[in-house]
Amino acid sequence: MAAATATAVFKEARREVQGITASLEQRAIRFLCARMPAWVGSDHLTALGLAATAGIGLAYTLSRSAPAWLHAVNLLLVVNWFGDSLDGSLARYRRTERPRYGFYVDHVVDAIGALFVIGGLGLSGLMSPACAAVLLIAYYLMAIHVYLTTYTAGTFKISYGAIGGTELRLLLAAANLIAWRWPSLSIGPLAWRLFDGLAVVMAGGLLVVFGASVVRVALALRREDTRALAARSAVIEPGHRQGR
């Protein structure tokens, strides 16, 4: 009975999709969903996306001794996009959504995938372990914020401004091509790993967006709860006076 009640009251959060490539990406996803073989299901695509992130982590690790493995990373980024972008979209296209299961599994897989990718970078020599750890922490803080906002505000925002998952994959692919030839950059007497600089910029950006978003959402929820409390008080108070 409890499970049935929970299913009845569950409401999927409103999705906010932005990003430079969002319009083109959505057209590509609709095209691919319409042509997906019937035997391919959302769970298959989720597993494919996760396997691709594991492969990315391994390829990054192997690139420590053979930089050509960075080309394998870029190929696997395409595979990851295919699995990660189409799993939920295919279910919605076929009207076979399982919103609670899909949301839970998809984002557990995202958390594991981030560990594979950033962990692989930390083992590759392209990024220092310290920078990898800071980037992973910043990513997880932002993910926690997104999931809590989804639960409390009913809005699932998967991109901010011009940057979404696809844009991050494109940025990473471009960095891989540069690092294949120039893994370190010199600025005057200083030499920086390319991916260390990228990690600092990305982690800093994530933390700034995290801080601003937390304040914005907390204030909005506070206003909504205060109005709801005032409305309840306005209804209850006359009843108390009437009872007297």
Q: Residue 118: inside a domain, yes or no? A: yes
pLDDT of residue 193: 85
Is residue 8 assigned to a domain? no
Bigger pLDDT: 3 or 27? 27
**Is residue 3 one of the residues assigned to a domain?**
no
Residue 69 lies in a domain: yes
Residue whose structure tokens are 């309840």: 232
Put simply, whether the predicted model's pTM sits higher than 0.85 gets the answer no
pLDDT score at 6: 43
What pLDDT does 2 receive? 42
No. of helices (H) and no. of strands (E), the chain: 8, 4
CATH number of the domain where residue 90 is located: 1.20.120.1760
Q: Are 25 and 169 in contact (CB under 8 A)?
A: no
Query: What average pLDDT does range 198-208 have in this prediction?
Result: 93
Cβ distance 15 to 153 under 8 Å? no
- Band (pLDDT 50/70/90 cuts) for residue 8 is very low
Query: Which two tokens mark 160?
Result: 């901010």
HSE value, Cβ hemisphere, 13 Å, CA-based, for 160: 13
Task: Look up the domain containing 20 and give its range.
Answer: 14-243
Least confident of 1-15, 21-35, 42-56, 124-138: 1-15
Q: CA 191, 208, 212: angle at the middle one, nearest 5?
A: 175
Number of domains in the chain: 1
| pLDDT tens readout for residues 215-241 | 999 999 999 999 888 888 877 665 555
d(CA 210, CA 151): 17
* Percent of the chain residues past pLDDT 70, beyond the cut: 84
Query: What three-state secondary structure class fits 68?
Result: coil
Answer yes or no: is 113 within a domain.
yes
- Report yes or no on 30 lying in a domain: yes
Residue 1 inside a domain? The answer is: no
pLDDT tens column, 131-170: 999 999 999 999 999 999 888 888 776 666 567 788 889 9
Is 102 inside any structural domain?
Answer: yes
